[in-house]
Amino acid sequence: MAAPAYPAWVTRWVSGQWRNKKRPPALRPPRTLGAAAATCITEMSVMMACWKQNDFNDTPCAEEIRMFYDCVAKAEKERKNQNEDTLSSKGNLPSSKVNKLLKRFPQITRYA
Amino acid sequence: RIMPVRWSRYNPNYLEPEVKKESYQKPLEELTEEEREQMELKAVRPIKAAPPSLSSSVFSDPMISKFTNMMMKSGNKVLARSLMSQTLEAIKRKQLEKYHKAPENEKETIECNPYVIFHQALKNCQPIIGLSNITKGGKTYQVPVPLTDNRKRFLAMKWLITECRENKHRRTLMPEKLCQELLLAFNNEGPIIKKKHVLHKMAEANRAYAHFRWW
């Protein structure tokens, strides 16, 4: 018997599609822009302008440097607070987290 | 019976040891609410073993120990520590020499404490922004990026040590060269400060790419 013709479901079953691993994810990540990125640019540009005037010395620019450090510390804290499992700005969880949750509690349709 | 040895994987219940003597000499009334809670927690939870580099003496300084560890080669802590103490002694000698030769009005401006000089020199050497490689659209750009405190300290110490190891005359010893570099950095001169300025200049030249950062 050359090239045995199996029905389509046999090849799918053998390839493992009906086992949980090869199911496509429930949600695709939405293509939003990388907004709220690149914080503290104004502070940085102010500091660099001050550097240009004072030949890159730190002592006359101490005020700008302090403001830059404060801005960086604030941005760091905000990022830490943001990385929790609560709702994001739109009211939806990020899709990767939704996928993980749905995989943990799957919808069982067949009770064999 | 085997006592637990300090490694990095402890049960999260274990707390860090408190080494400073001053915190134990405060009377009960002066503590704030959080400190009282902390004390009660410590009475119940187990505590990690103190690492051998942590000491409660007045002479120990965490920055100096970190610097000695970075100078150490192939585990020879004895040599690294002796080099560090010789450096500090050399700084003190040079400053005392300057102090005794200086006229009366300038005597107060000369700093003689080698620890103060070390800390100030390191602070002067720390860069403020760094550059990081970010690939976008197939090309890698050098993007100016704020650095964490640990990274700044590490870079300052690393620059100091590499500078002293490479750019010296064959016959000069490490403590002497380190002493010279530290005194120059204390006065905001010297090759390490130049390196820091070069980094800042590159960051300033690349400031247009700052928007490529996503954190």
Q: Which CATH number do you get for residue B193?
A: 1.10.455.10
CA distance A96 to chain B (A): 19
Rounded CA-CA distance A14/A35 in Å is 44
pLDDT for residue B202: 92
pLDDT for residue B183: 94
Interval A15-72: pLDDT, tens: 766 666 666 777 776 655 555 567 888 888 999 899 989 888 888 888 999 999 999 9
Which residues on chain A are in Cβ contact (under 8 Å) with B120?
none
Nearest chain B alpha carbon to A55:
B197
Predicted confidence band of residue A111 (pLDDT cuts 50, 70, 90): confident
Torsions phi, psi of B154, nearest 5?
Answer: -60, -45
In a domain, A22, yes or no: no
Which residues on chain B are in Cβ contact (under 8 Å) with A66?
none
Q: What is the ipTM of this complex?
A: 0.80
pLDDT one digit per residue (tens) for chain B, 215 residues:
666 566 678 888 889 998 888 888 887 776 678 888 888 888 999 998 888 888 888 888 999 999 999 999 999 999 999 999 999 999 999 999 999 999 988 888 898 999 999 999 999 999 999 999 998 889 999 999 999 999 999 999 999 999 999 988 888 999 999 999 999 999 999 999 999 999 999 999 998 888 888 87
In a domain, A15, yes or no: no
Provide DSSP, B124-165: HH--SEEEEEEEETTEEEEEEEE--HHHHHHHHHHHHHHHHH
**Which of A40, A52, A65 is the closest to B204 by Cβ?**
A52
Rounded CA-CA distance B90/A65 in Å is 33
* Residue in B155, B152, B163, B149 with CA at minimum distance from that of residue B192: B163
In a domain, B107, yes or no: yes
Rounded CA-CA distance B200/A51 in Å is 9
In a domain, B19, yes or no: no
Nearest chain A alpha carbon to B205:
A48
CB A22 within 8 A of CB A14: no
Q: What is the pTM of this model?
A: 0.76
A84: pLDDT strictly greater than 80: no
* Residue in B88, B79, B66 with CA at minimum distance from that of residue B178: B88
pLDDT for residue B158: 95
The pLDDT of A74-81, averaged and rounded, is 86
pLDDT for residue A89: 60
Predicted confidence band of residue A1 (pLDDT cuts 50, 70, 90): low
First to last CA, chain A: 35
pLDDT for residue A94: 78
CB B126 within 8 A of CB B156: yes
In a domain, B26, yes or no: no
Domain total of chain B: 1
Nearest chain A alpha carbon to B198:
A56
CA angle A27, A30, A33 (to 5 degrees): 160
Q: Cα separations (Å) of A44 from B133, B142, B202?
A: 18, 16, 14
- Interchain contact, B146 vs A68, CB within 8 Å: yes
In a domain, A89, yes or no: no
Domain total of chain A: 1
In a domain, A60, yes or no: yes
- Domain containing A47 equals 39-80
- Domain containing B179 equals 62-212
A88: pLDDT strictly greater than 90: no
In a domain, B197, yes or no: yes
CA distance A85 to chain B (A): 19
Q: Between B114-125 and B174-186, two packed helices, what is the crossing angle to 10 degrees?
A: 70
